[in-house]
Amino acid sequence: MSEYREEIEPLLSVMVKPRETFRYMIENKKFTYALYTGAVAGVASMLITMYGSVFPAGFGLGDVVYTSIVMGILVFMLTNLVMAFVMTKIGAMVKGKGTFKEMFQTVCMANAPYFWIMPILLFWLQNASHTFFKFDFNFDIETTLKDMIWAYVGLFSVAVATIWSAVLSIIGISETHQISKWKAFGLFLLGSVAILVVNMLFLAV
């Protein structure tokens, strides 16, 4: 039975009380809650990977967002499943107690910072897309102060989300497996290497 008596909103509390939130989510929330959170975060991550790329000819911003939704969810499922599998198997070697399902929930919720910057990315694309993509035009697009502000705010948000997501991952692994943060940090590094290999193979196909 859960030790938490008060209802909390994991998407909010994970930013300030991560350890308590991971335990609460595992014990009280449905599996689909973490799945939906991770899916939105996956879409945001896919948009981030497009930064600095050439804007696809013949596409509109709506097409780019739609592509990010489809590909983001697919890549999210693949990478998070691999990450959870690696964390579960290797974690068991260091006497970790987390199950595959619990670890998958943890990995999804650790991506919560990307969930929160999704609106910023969409506004950035809408209001200053030429600072996000490279356009293959024969003329220059004037960049205003407002455009630069959108770019700096967007890049700063991505940097903060990336760092905080890594921190949440380590805390979540530690809490789910009931191991030290140093062991969790090692598991996180191994999992990150596994994800890098999977992404390289995915892009090579």
For the chain, the residue count is 205
Mean pLDDT of 65-84: 86
Of 174, 131, 170, the C-alpha closest to 149 is: 131
Structure pTM? 0.85
3-state per-residue secondary structure call for the chain: CCCCCCCCCHHHHCCCCHHHHHHHHHHHCCHHHHHHHHHHHHHHHHHHHCCCCECCCCCCHHHHHHHHHHHHHHHHHHHHHHHHHHHHHHHHHCCCCCCHHHHHHHHHHCCHHHHHHHHHHHHHHHHHHHHCCECCCCCCCCCCHHHHHHHHHHHHHHHHHHHHHHHHHHHHHHHHHCCCHHHHHHHHHHHHHHHHHHHHHHHHC
What's the one-letter identity of residue 27? E
Amino acid type, 142: E
Averaged over 6-34, what is the pLDDT? Answer: 86
| CA 99/CA 102 separation, integer angstroms | 5
C-alpha–C-alpha distance, residues 176 and 162, integer Å? 21
Per-residue pLDDT at 127: 86
Residue 157 has pLDDT above 60, yes or no: yes
> Among 1-15, 17-31, 180-194, whose mean pLDDT is lowest?
1-15
Q: Position 127: which residue type?
A: N
Cβ neighbours, 10 Å, residue 147: 18
Residue 201, pLDDT above cutoff 50 = yes
